[in-house]
């Protein structure tokens, strides 16, 4: 019996790949990936304060709304104080609803990565034409309010239909963050040519850490630091990408902010040893490398 197979990328062990440097001569690219999200009120799917999937309620809607009212502003304070470059996975519904947030993103020069329309819905069960329109409308809305076209995609819940990668390539996206299979950028096969996949974490993601495994903020900070220190050592052998995933209504809670601050300070103190960057800059650098250097190229 033949099993279903993933044909998006080939198996290439990391120790058999060409070595290259990041632009500043370092080997570890650091991406701090924040999520700015909007949810339907008492409808659709979405996080519960004690579980990943639960029936929506006014209480959980208000809990998630804390992130855009309070949490993100505390986080901006930390990012500014440490002079950290950030990328934000953003729902297109956020753009018109929270103009103050968008103004702050523009002021800081942060990157916006398209993150679906709202986190109350998933796109992996849409018909192909509907998903193509979904991607188009999201792209247009972000472009209108940001003043730039997003070049990367990371959908809600990392949802991926049978044709999502194909549609993203055909919509003009340079990269996706949908395939958590590697510590390096790799090219994903699509019917219209390759699209770059930039590492995005399932493990070092505060949703899984807090809502699934119920770890503490202090434990998350320890994980961030351990991952950073270990990858910095490993990067002596080959270039790597360290990415963390943050959500404003989770790490933006005061009792978690203290631990997050410690982890961010630890990373910032090594800024001369790493490349603190955004996904779009990783994509641009990878595109400049000769064919055959990055798997799938």
**Position 212 confidence tier, pLDDT thresholds 50, 70, 90:** confident
Percent of the chain's residues with pLDDT above 70: 97
280 sits in the region (left: phi over 0; alpha: psi -120 to 50; else beta) called: alpha
The model's pLDDT over 120-145, given as tens digits with 9 standing for 90+, comes to 888 899 999 999 999 999 999 999 99
User: Burial of 172 by CB count in 10 Å (0-12 exposed, 13-18 middle, 19+ buried)?
Assistant: exposed
For the cut 80, the answer to whether the pLDDT of residue 44 exceeds it is no
249 sits in the region (left: phi over 0; alpha: psi -120 to 50; else beta) called: alpha
**Position 52 confidence tier, pLDDT thresholds 50, 70, 90:** low
Q: Which residues pair with 276 in a beta bridge?
A: 30
Q: Which residue carries 């239909």 as its tokens?
A: 161
Q: What is the mean pLDDT of residues 16-45?
A: 91
Query: What pLDDT does residue 54 have?
Result: 65
What does the block give as tokens for 218? 């202090």
The model's pLDDT over 221-230, given as tens digits with 9 standing for 90+, comes to 999 999 999 9
For the cut 60, the answer to whether the pLDDT of residue 50 exceeds it is no
Q: What is the mean pLDDT of residues 241-263?
A: 96
**How high is the mean pLDDT of the chain?**
94
**Position 51 confidence tier, pLDDT thresholds 50, 70, 90:** low
Q: CATH assignment of 18-287?
A: 3.20.20.370
**Position 49 confidence tier, pLDDT thresholds 50, 70, 90:** low
Q: What is the mean pLDDT of residues 110-120?
A: 95
How much is the pTM? 0.95
**Secondary structure of residue 266 in the 3-state scheme:** helix
Query: What pLDDT does residue 237 have?
Result: 96
Range with lowest mean pLDDT among 203-212, 222-231, 276-285: 203-212
Q: What is the mean pLDDT of residues 92-111?
A: 97
For the cut 70, the answer to whether the pLDDT of residue 48 exceeds it is no
Closest CA to 282 of 193, 199, 204: 199
Could you state, in order of their start, the residue ranges of all structural domains in the chain?
A: 18-287
User: 239 and 14 in contact (C-beta within 8 Å)?
Assistant: no
Query: What pLDDT does residue 65 have?
Result: 87
């Amino acid at each position: 019996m033949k099993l279903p197979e993933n044909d998006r990328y080939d198996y290439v062990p990391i120790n058999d790949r060409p070595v290259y440097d990041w632009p500043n001569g370092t080997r570890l690219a650091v991406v701090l990936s924040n999520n700015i999200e909007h949810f339907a009120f008492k409808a659709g799917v979405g996080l519960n304060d004690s579980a990943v999937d639960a029936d929506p309620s006014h209480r959980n809607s208000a809990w998630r709304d804390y992130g855009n009212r309070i949490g993100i502003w505390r986080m901006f304070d930390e990012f500014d104080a440490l002079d950290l470059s950030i990328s934000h996975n953003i729902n297109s519904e956020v753009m018109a609803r929270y103009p103050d947030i968008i103004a702050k993103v523009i002021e800081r020069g942060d990157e916006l990565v398209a993150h679906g329309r709202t986190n109350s819905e998933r796109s992996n069960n849409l018909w192909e034409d509907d998903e193509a329109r979904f991607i188009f409308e999201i792209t247009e809305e972000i472009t209108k309010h940001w003043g730039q076209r997003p070049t990367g995609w990371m959908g809600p819940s990392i949802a991926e239909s049978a044709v999502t990668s194909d549609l993203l390539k055909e919509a003009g996206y340079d990269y996706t963050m949908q395939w958590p299979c590697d510590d390096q950028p790799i090219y994903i096969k699509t019917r219209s040519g390759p699209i770059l996949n930039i590492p995005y974490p399932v493990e070092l993601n505060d949703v899984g850490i807090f809502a699934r495994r119920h770890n503490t903020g202090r434990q998350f900070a320890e994980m961030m630091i351990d991952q950073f220190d270990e990858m910095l050592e490993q990067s002596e052998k080959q270039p790597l990408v360290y990415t963390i995933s943050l959500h404003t209504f989770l790490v933006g809670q005061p009792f978690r902010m203290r631990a997050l601050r410690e982890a961010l300070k630890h990373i910032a103190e090594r800024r001369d040893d790493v490349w603190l960057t955004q996904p779009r800059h990783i994509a641009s650098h990878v595109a400049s490398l000769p064919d055959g250097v990055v798997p799938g190229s």
